[in-house]
Chains A and B, each alone.
Chain A
Amino acid sequence: MSGTLMDTVLNLSVFAYVGFLVWLCLRPDP
């Protein structure tokens, strides 16, 4: 995988993770 593509993938995974955190915060309590 080229350096730029890898960089993009790693950053997109961080954005996805932040989205996951937001979802976790908004998720109703069990």
Chain B
Amino acid sequence: MDRKSPSPLLVIALALSAGIAAWGIADPQGLGRLASTAVATQFNSRGWFIMLEVSGLLFVSIYLAFSRFGEIRLGQGATEPEFSTPVWIAMLFAAGMGVGLLFYGTAEPLTHFEVLRQYNNDPEAASYAMFVTYLNWGFHAWAIYGIVALVIAYFAYRKGQALLLSAPLRSALGEARWIKALGWLFDLLSIVAIAVGLAGSMAMGVFQIQTGLAGLIGVEEPGQLTIPVFIALCIAFIIPLRKDLGDGMALLSNSAMLIAVGMMIYLLVMGPTSFIMDDIVSGFGRYLFGVLPAGFSTAAFFDETIVDWFHGWTLNYMIWWLAWSPFVGIFIARISRGRTIREFLIGVIVAPTLFSILWFGIFGGLGFFDTLRQDGALSSINAENLDATTFALLERFPLDGITRTATVLAAFLFVVTSVVSAGFTLAMIGTGGDENPSPRIRTVWGAILGALGLAMILVGDIALVRSIIALSAIAFVFIVPMLVVCLFKSLAREEQS
């Protein structure tokens, strides 16, 4: 039995996360309101800086990929990549794909459309709605992940440091007391951001699974299924946290991804294929040539409706990606040893973005086909309940019993595999970089993630859940640029030596 006493970081991180969970369970609306007010204040005052930063990260990625630094390998000597390029890219998709894509595939473009059609004619509003969706899920999102993952991988595999956010600080800036303290704070904040972000994703998964399941088994009120679904999820993720299932988890994650990809292809073939392809090509072109200036959008000259919409979606997404960046960054770093900085950044930023364009092009395109060419019923359903949009779309196609069951299953698997992976990552950070943390610590994290998930479910409103995630991650707006400074200082030193 492990008799080492737990580190202060682990104890404080557990206490802080448990405290947030307890607060959320005792007073979910209070927590939601506080997060909503605090995040609105931050977005109003610092929105410009967030957009400037995420655009800056994209430019830094482009520079690093195509400069002389691009040839540096993430490993010692001539380390070969652990995974072949196709397998690596498939794993990147798995990291980025999650319950969010299933949830927002059709719902997000249609929601943007309803706002934008108040200011534009319908075709322009639809085209711009697709553009904004691509902006939210595209190059900027993956540049955030890519840069954080690159910093972690560079310091881990080239400098022999642990897979932690504190490692770059110590390695590049020295061992002064204030730097150690800052590094400790980075690790603590990354734990909180991962835990709260995951819990939010769990809540979103539960909302979607209960809605889909209620339609399948004929339950009038999906809310009746909240607790059974939540308990089933908890049982499903506690087992692999207690006992290492090895490749079993990868198999589950790949199965969820295969279901999602299969459904995407099925809808492309069974739906109005030429309309969807038109929409993908025109959306891709508009995105490709408009993405860099759009990254600097701040909605400065618009009315309150547009400002609220911009804060609630684009700014919120950018913070969301920052919230997930330690978790996804550590995962990407772990699978990328031996790649050059150039292939790493191009792979991490371009491949998943192209996938997002296809995904939203198909799901969003089907939503617009219904809205612009048919009766528009999907838009009405979407306006009432975002959770129901994907299922309402699937009901319009043959074999909808199978596709809706597959969606519920994929959402379930996405949530379970994410929580298990997060349990490992949280335990790893809390133990100072131990890549095989004990099952006991993993299980404790699993229990806390479950409690946080319950708190988010009790909050009930997905907009408030997003605010709580944003609040937990706001510090990363200031952490990530410091990591970039550490990377450049270390690269410069490496070049000199």
- A positions within 8 Å CB-CB of B: 6-7, 10-11, 14, 17, 21, 24-25, 27, 29-30
Give how many A-B residue pairs fall within 8 Å (CB-CB). Answer: 30
Q: How far is the CB of B473 from chain A (nearest CB, A)?
A: 16
Residue of chain A at shortest CB distance from B485: A24
Query: Provided the pairs A24-B173, A30-B175 are in contact, do residues A10 and B489 lie with their beta carbons within 8 angstroms?
Result: no
Q: How far is the CB of A12 from chain B (nearest CB, A)?
A: 10
A29 to B176, CA, bound (A): 12
The reply to whether B44 and A7 contact each other, CB–CB distance below 8 Å, is: yes
A-B CB contact pairs (8 Å), 21 listed: A6-B45, A7-B45, A10-B45, A11-B45, A11-B46, A14-B46, A17-B478, A21-B481, A21-B482, A21-B485, A24-B173, A24-B482, A24-B485, A25-B485, A25-B488, A25-B489, A29-B174, A29-B489, A29-B493, A30-B173, A30-B176
The reply to whether A10 and B478 contact each other, CB–CB distance below 8 Å, is: no
| A residues less than 8 Å from B482 (CB atoms) | 21, 24
| B residues less than 8 Å from A14 (CB atoms) | 46, 49
**B42 on interface, CB distance cutoff 8 Å:** yes
Query: Provided the pairs A25-B485, A25-B489 are in contact, do residues A10 and B41 lie with their beta carbons within 8 angstroms?
Result: yes
Residue of chain B at shortest CB distance from A20: B482
Chain B's interface: helix, strand, loop or mixed, by majority?
A: helix
A27 to B176, CA, bound (A): 13
Question: Interface extent on B, as a size class?
Answer: 10 to 19
| B residues less than 8 Å from A24 (CB atoms) | 173, 482, 485
The reply to whether A6 and B489 contact each other, CB–CB distance below 8 Å, is: no
- B positions within 8 Å CB-CB of A: 41-42, 44-46, 49, 173-176, 478, 481-482, 485, 488-489, 493
A11 to B43, CA, bound (A): 11
A6 to B41, CA, bound (A): 9
| A residues less than 8 Å from B493 (CB atoms) | 29
A29 to B488, CA, bound (A): 12
A27 to B492, CA, bound (A): 13
A24 to B42, CA, bound (A): 25
A11 to B52, CA, bound (A): 14
Residue of chain A at shortest CB distance from B493: A29
| B residues less than 8 Å from A7 (CB atoms) | 44-45
Residue of chain B at shortest CB distance from A24: B485
| A residues less than 8 Å from B176 (CB atoms) | 30
Q: How far is the CB of B461 from chain A (nearest CB, A)?
A: 25
A6 to B38, CA, bound (A): 12
| B residues less than 8 Å from A27 (CB atoms) | 173
Having A10-B41, A24-B173, A24-B485, one finds 18 other A-B pairs with CB under 8 Å, namely: A6-B41, A7-B45, A10-B45, A10-B46, A11-B45, A14-B46, A14-B49, A17-B478, A21-B482, A21-B485, A25-B488, A25-B489, A29-B489, A29-B493, A30-B173, A30-B174, A30-B175, A30-B176
